[in-house]
């Protein structure tokens, strides 16, 4: 019977997150009126009340 050990041990804290290229970041941004969770998801970088907005309410 042969036992093999994994050469790589995954450590959850050291996993690298994949970065989107500028092209895919631009393609994946959401238009005004689309649903969102945070500013980084919107083309305008303004997510208010879970919607991508053109400007803030105070403007």
Domain membership flag for residue 59: yes
Percent of the chain residues past pLDDT 70, beyond the cut: 68
Contacts of residue 43, Cβ cutoff 8 Å, sequence gap at least 6:
29, 30, 31, 32, 52
Q: Check whether 33 has a pLDDT greater than 80.
A: yes
Domain membership flag for residue 40: yes
Single pTM value for the model: 0.54
- SS3 of the chain: CCCCCCCCCCCHHHCCCCCCCHHHHHHHCECCCCECCCHHHECCCCEECCEECCCCCCC
Residue 42, pLDDT score: 92
Per mean pLDDT, which range of 10-14, 19-23, 37-41, 52-56 is the poorest? 10-14
Q: What is the domain extent for residue 48?
A: 22-59
Residue 45 maps to which CATH number?
A: 4.10.40.50
Number of domain units in the chain = 1
Domain membership flag for residue 36: yes
Domain membership flag for residue 33: yes
Q: Check whether 5 has a pLDDT greater than 70.
A: no
């Amino acid at each position: 019977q042969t036992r093999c050990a994994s050469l790589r041990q995954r450590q959850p804290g050291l996993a690298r997150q994949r970065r989107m290229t500028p092209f895919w970041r631009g393609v994946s941004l959401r238009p005004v009126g689309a649903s969102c969770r945070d500013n980084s998801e919107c083309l305008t970088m303004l997510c208010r009340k879970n919607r991508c907005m053109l400007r803030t309410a105070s403007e």
